[in-house]
Structure 1
Amino acid sequence: MNKHQQQAPDLPEHKAPWWMDGNGLKEPHFLSKGLHAFWRRLWHWLLIPLQQLDPLECSEAMLNLIAWDRGIQRFSNEPVALYRKRVKYAFANARDAGESAGFKRIFERLGIGWVEVHERQPDQPWDVITIELADMELAGNQQLLNVLIQHYGRTCRRYRFQVVYPQPLRLHAARFSGSYQNFGAKLG
């Protein structure tokens, strides 16, 4: 049962009261079962439009229509799963556009790993925003990053990518002790 079926009212299991059931006639019982099966099938058919409103579950034709409505265009060789996420989170991404914390949330929603956004750094022009990414994220998502900056970035700013190579750090704690003595000596 998907989430749309959980939101829709349930079709009750109903036994029709038949006055002839006590006489051993089973036709009304079979008729009741058949009608219930028909209404259950019709109930599923009526839920199909609800399923088409969710960008993560709808058909691709409907996805393209929802994307057009939300102002999202698919870039070349974009995986369908990523396209579905971009369409689903279009409103939230538009709301978060234009601020550093919002930009981080946009990247997080779309599955891009660690990101840091730096604005107005010393020794940099005021309109340069530096986006720090891991090397693998930049290499694997270059088109996506360009589309995101073009769509959600500030219009009067320049964006610069800075590649960071994350290295695991191991730190071991151990007890270290020793004793120290000072000796003085005089000549002569």
Structure 2
Amino acid sequence: MDKISLVFWQKGTKEKADAQGFASFLDEWWQQCREWLAWPLKALSPENAPLFMVDLLADECDVQRYSGEPESLYRLRVKTAYANAKDAGTKAGLERIWARLGLGYIEISEREDAENWDIVRINVTESIISEKPELLKIIVEKYGRTCRRYEYTTVANIDLNILSASVEHFTDNMTAKLEL
């Protein structure tokens, strides 16, 4: 932010010194006013607010912190609660919720079986199921479709080394005839 510079038409050093002092006083005062005005915005931002304020915002958004949840993930869930609620109940919405929370790969397939049409298969990386099973349960309960059964399948990333080599083959076919 630029400092205030006052141009005075008066001559002399005393007036210039007074003008510079007044300008620095106005700079400091305006900075303090900006901090006062910005405080409510900081207090209502789940990213910067004290944890007790995040808890109040979470209560307002119907987000509960589960046992062992990292604070950063909790703040992110509170921040995205309204957008997540808006996207709830659809396949594309669940994929967007997954992306907002930064949970990685997800693939959702519905109605694959004609007999069990209410099954929704969610294919995710194995680390999500092993590291954050409680979060997965909360996401499906809050933002999934009602009257559906969910099945989880996992994808595991493995390093695969394949050696390719040249294979040559030569055949020679000979026949022998015996005459008596």
TM over 0.5: yes
- Gap change, CA 1:182 and 1:122, over 3 Å in 2: farther
Asked if 1:119 corresponds to 2:110, the answer is yes
Give deviations 1:77-129, integer Å, cap 9, x for gaps.
32211111111122332233223333233222213232222222338621111
Match of 2:145 in 1: 154
- Gap change, CA 1:181 and 1:93, over 3 Å in 2: same
Alignment of 1:11-160 (within 5 A): 13-20=3-10, 22-25=11-14, 26-122=17-113, 125-160=116-151
Can you give the 5+ residue segments of structure 1 that lack an aligned partner in the other structure? 1-9
Match of 1:178 in 2: 168
TM-aligned CA deviation for residue 139 of structure 1: 1.3
Which AA in structure 2 matches 1:23?
G
SS across alignment from 1:133: strand
Give deviations 1:132-156, integer Å, cap 9, x for gaps.
2333221110111111111001111
Give the alignment partner of residue 157 of structure 2, picking from 142, 145, 166: 166
Give deviations 1:45-78, integer Å, cap 9, x for gaps.
2122222332212222322232233232222332
- What is the RMSD computed on CA atoms of the aligned residues? 2.5
SS across alignment from 2:134: helix
TM-aligned CA deviation for residue 160 of structure 1: 1.9
- Gap change, CA 1:77 and 1:165, over 3 Å in 2: same
* Whole-Å separation in 1 of the counterparts to 2:5 and 2:127: 61
Identity of aligned residues (%): 32
- Gap change, CA 1:187 and 1:96, over 3 Å in 2: farther
* Whole-Å separation in 1 of the counterparts to 2:162 and 2:91: 32
* Whole-Å separation in 2 of the counterparts to 1:158 and 1:16: 70
* Whole-Å separation in 2 of the counterparts to 1:102 and 1:146: 16
Query: Is the 2:4–2:26 Cα contact (8 Å) retained in structure 1?
Result: no
